Amino acid sequence: MTIDNINLHSYPGSEKTYMHGEIHPDVKVGMRRVILTPTVKVAPDGTKTVRENEPVYVYDTSGVYTDPDVTTDINRGLPRIREQWNARRDDLEQLPEITSEYGRQREADRSLDAIRFANRHRPLRAKQGCRITQMDLARRGIITPEMEYVAIRENMNCAALGIKSYITPETVREEVAAGRAVIPANPNHPEAEPMIIGRKFAVKLNTNIGNSALSSGIEEEVSKAVWSCYWGGDTLMDLSTGANIHETREWIIRNCPVPVGTVPVYQALEKVDGSVERLSWEIYRDTLIEQAEQGVDYFTIHAGALRAHADMINERLTGIVSRGGSIMTRWAVIHNEENFLYTHFDEICEILAQYDVAVSLGDGLRPGSIHDANDRSQFLELDVLGELTEKAWVHGVQVLIEGPGHVPMQKIQENMDRQLDKCHEAPFYTLGPLTTDIAPGYDHITSAIGAAQIAWAGTAMICYVTPKEHLALPNLDDVRQGVITYKIAAHAADLAKGYPGAQVRDDAMSLARYDFRWKDQFNLSLDPEKARRYYVESHRDDDHFCTMCGPNFCAMRISQSTAEECAK
């Protein structure tokens, strides 16, 4: 597998470093340390002063791909860092074989050997009678390794703030116990580095990849997965709908250092050749188990799109634009029955609880246009999601609530307010929202405007949108643009929320600008390669000005002379 000629083994000017747990000494949290050059000033009399600049720590989603001491091989998969934690637990059992019927069929099909991920593991599941989810454990007062891991991970740049920490493992435990935060951590995905989604923590971003019937192969999808982590994706949804979904997913999960989510109804529908009519609870149920045992960390489940909502489609300009929502309401209308994800929701939760798969309650009726934003069906579904949240929590299942979509700026706050109210503060996870419909080709931007705003208001995770949204599937460069754009939105929201440690990087960048330390500026930026390339393409030397203003018009240079004068 090649990743577009980028060497994933390092970020420029940075070191991979690890911090260890105190409660759990084998917790080892990777982070990126950006090494800065000193500030050098030469006074008019030639006196030189040198001031060291402290390194800046950056939250690192790239896993061991950027650790020069680890050799990765996608044919073997990533190191299984959580395996030892699982092994210590007495509430998990290793099954002798996989449970799902479909999974067994695929296993038995020798024709798939050529595309199969070779290195297989037997699935873990809750022992009979044990409640194993992070939420269950948190409620019992247990600080798991996963909880300590995320606490360390969130405490970025404490040294610069002059404090030991601002997020404690106990805070994490409380938030998870209350349902205000989610740690997606299926024991069957031990390759994933734990992370937390909740509005008390740094804003996270999800990336979507996945083939459709018309494009993309396994290698391309794995490349996109790793690539999205390299640029900063916190979680990854595999939305594949084409051929060999089962095998593609296995490759992705085994090589993915972040939690992986899916929309199981996509595969269930593939199993009935795309016939919505032939979908059934039994096929869906088997799909849940199949995917849970592969290690999917969260499922989007469109259990809130009800039969009655279908009658409201005609009030809308763009009907239902969620794939899952359109499938489930269609099924309900064809069969004249209630959405089976709603009627079987308790059984779904029982399965999810056994594997600690979080449920991401899908907004099947999210608006697909500015016109339809905040309409009756959208908010009626949100009420149902609130009801389902309480049900899931009874089972100890962790819950995320998905949100829109297309919403003009003045209607964004209402989405957040209602979600907090109706869904009992379960973390909100929104797609954008796009703040206008008129810019296909730039919907990463139309939506970043909305994403920054809603994240500031309290949304815990924002789902990226790439420039290809509404037009085509993203390629590697689109994934990169989508991730960086959403890192911007998430970081802007962290700053606005006053999240501790966030502004350390901005301040380091600004000082590097004022000092004309160009390399530090590149290395501190979200996309060092692009920043450097833009600069180098038009620059002639490395002096104290740039091509934008030229030597006589450099405000910072003039300003520094003035400052020196005034400081005398």
Residue 291's closest CA among 344, 247, 347, 242? 247
Which lies closer to its own copies via its Cβ, residue 129 or residue 498? Answer: 498
Q: Does 487 bind its own copies (CB under 8 A)?
A: yes
133 within 8 A of 353, measured Cβ to Cβ: yes
153 within 8 A of 59, measured Cβ to Cβ: yes
Q: Which range in 87-95, 136-144, 226-234, 552-560 contacts its own copies by CB under 8 A?
A: 552-560
Residue 412's closest CA among 437, 464, 449? 449
Q: Does 456 bind its own copies (CB under 8 A)?
A: yes
Q: Does 560 bind its own copies (CB under 8 A)?
A: yes
Q: Does 37 bind its own copies (CB under 8 A)?
A: no
- Residue at 465: amino acid letter: V
Contacting residue, 264, 467, 482, 501, with its own copies by CB under 8 A:
467
Contacting residue, 99, 241, 280, 374, with its own copies by CB under 8 A:
241
Q: Which range in 25-33, 174-182, 323-331, 382-390 contacts its own copies by CB under 8 A?
A: 323-331
Interactions with its own copies, residue window 161-200 (CB under 8 A):
none
Q: Which residues participate in the annotated binding site for substrate?
A: 208, 237, 266, 302, 322-324, 363-366, 402, 429
Q: How many CB atoms neighbour CB 336 within 10 A? A: 7
Kindly state the smallest distance separating residue 431's Cβ from its own copies, in Å: 13
Indicate the helix (H) or strand (E) that contains 521.
helix 518-524
Task: Please give the C-alpha separations between residue 431 and each of 46, 402, 488, in angstroms, as whole numbers.
Answer: 56, 8, 15
Which lies closer to its own copies via its Cβ, residue 23 or residue 558? Answer: 558
Which lies closer to its own copies via its Cβ, residue 353 or residue 502? Answer: 502
> Residue 538 in 3-state DSSP?
helix
Q: How many CB atoms neighbour CB 79 within 10 A? A: 15
Which lies closer to its own copies via its Cβ, residue 301 or residue 509? Answer: 509
Q: Does 468 bind its own copies (CB under 8 A)?
A: yes
Q: How many CB atoms neighbour CB 318 within 10 A? A: 14
Which lies closer to its own copies via its Cβ, residue 113 or residue 565? Answer: 565
For residue 176, what are the contacts with CB-CB under 8 A and spacing of at least 6?
Answer: 134, 135, 138, 147, 182, 183, 196, 198, 398
Contacting residue, 33, 79, 408, 519, with its own copies by CB under 8 A:
408
Contacting residue, 66, 329, 354, 419, with its own copies by CB under 8 A:
329
Kindly state the smallest distance separating residue 526's Cβ from its own copies, in Å: 5
Task: Please give the C-alpha separations between residue 244 and each of 48, 218, 248, 270, 393, in angstroms, as whole numbers.
Answer: 64, 9, 6, 10, 33
Structure token digits, residue 106: 């695929």
CA dist 381 and 361 (Å) reads: 10
Contacting residue, 54, 337, 507, 542, with its own copies by CB under 8 A:
507
Q: Which range in 19-27, 140-148, 161-169, 319-327 contacts its own copies by CB under 8 A?
A: 319-327
Q: Does 547 bind its own copies (CB under 8 A)?
A: yes
> Residue 34 in 3-state DSSP?
strand
Residue 491's closest CA among 501, 502, 478, 477? 502
Q: Does 103 bind its own copies (CB under 8 A)?
A: no
Cite the beta strand spans of 2-151 per DSSP E.
14-20, 28-34, 39-42, 48-51, 56-58, 92-94, 124-126
Interactions with its own copies, residue window 432-451 (CB under 8 A):
435-442, 444-446, 448-449
Interactions with its own copies, residue window 121-160 (CB under 8 A):
none
Contacting residue, 150, 176, 197, 276, with its own copies by CB under 8 A:
276
Contacting residue, 26, 471, 542, 544, with its own copies by CB under 8 A:
471
Kindly state the smallest distance separating residue 208's Cβ from its own copies, in Å: 10
Which lies closer to its own copies via its Cβ, residue 116 or residue 444? Answer: 444
Q: Which residues participate in the annotated binding site?
A: 208, 237, 266, 302, 322-324, 363-366, 402, 406, 429, 470, 546, 549, 554
CA dist 517 and 79 (Å) reads: 37
